[in-house]
Amino acid sequence: MLKSEISTKITMPLTSPAFPKGPYKFHNREYLNIVYRTNADDLLKVVPEPLALDLNEPLVRFEMMFMPDSSGLGSYTECGQAIPVNFNGVKGDYLHMMYLDNHPAIAVGREFSSYPKKLGYPKLFVDSDTLVGTLDYGKLRVLTATMGYKHQPLDINEARNEICRPNFMLKIIPNYDGTQRICELVSAQITDITIHEAWTGPARLQLFDHAMAPFNDLPVKEIISCSHIVTDLILPTPNVIYDYLKNN
């Protein structure tokens, strides 16, 4: 194989790459979102500068996503925590942790887009009159989220604004000696989206202590809002907005 051919490959292994080249299109991507209030001091421990927090309103958005039809990636479920922040006057969400059950999506998320993804076993399903989200890490239950199934319509524009907020992620790649080769803050924002339906209703979220999936380090103090949204969308390409190595 020519060197020029190798240089065009997107990832490893060379002859059987972990994921194909995008764009990545999602059909009937289903969200369960629960916004809750937590402790301001706990948020300060996990959000990197230069992102700024509103300590008067210490919020977290828990999100569970079922993606049954994703081009190049297949079918999988994912969940995580997103923290409302501000970067130079731009309001968005810092993606703190994400757990999912699909290797190509983990690989492309970490290597290409800087999403903080780890292997876990989330599920999103309907149990009688309740939308339920669960996450297991190994054999242990880490969280359970519940929401009344399609109780009240949610305004489509409100749903779009919730999904299309800018996301901020931290990309860290080491050198072979363990020093940092890349340490960047990146941002991405969904713009190509169709919302099929959106709902709200009563919700609860239980988080359990786990050393390797520490969701409960940001404990639930009060449920603020929730949403159940079904969309088609295309994942955006992230952009570097801050280089820690150059600004150190």
Which residue's entry shows tokens 């779009």? 160
CA 100 – CA 76 distance, rounded (Å) = 7
User: Looking at the domain that runs over 22-243, which CATH code has it been given?
Assistant: 2.40.400.10
Catalytic: which of 117, 123, 139, 221?
A: 117
Integer CA distances (angstroms), 216 to 30, 119, 142, in order:
24, 18, 9
Whether the model clears a pTM of 0.85, i.e. scores above it, the answer is: yes
What pLDDT shows up at residue 6? Answer: 66
Q: What is the pLDDT of residues 31-49, one digit of tens each?
A: 999 999 999 999 999 999 9
Helix (H/G/I), strand (E/B), else coil: 11: coil
Residues near 97 by Cβ (< 8 Å), separated by ≥ 6? 80, 81, 116, 118, 213, 214, 215
Average pLDDT per run of 10 along the chain, which is 248 residues long?
68 89 96 98 97 96 98 98 97 98 96 94 98 98 98 98 98 94 97 98 98 98 98 96 93
Q: What is the pLDDT of residues 58-99, one digit of tens each?
A: 999 999 999 999 999 999 999 999 999 999 999 999 999 999
What pLDDT shows up at residue 11? Answer: 87
The reply to whether 117 belongs to the active site is yes
Could you state, in order of their start, the residue ranges of all structural domains in the chain? 22-243
What pLDDT shows up at residue 4? Answer: 64
What pLDDT shows up at residue 248? Answer: 76
Q: DSSP string of 26-68? A: EEEEEEEEEEEE--HHHHHHHPPTT-B--TTS-EEEEEEEEEE
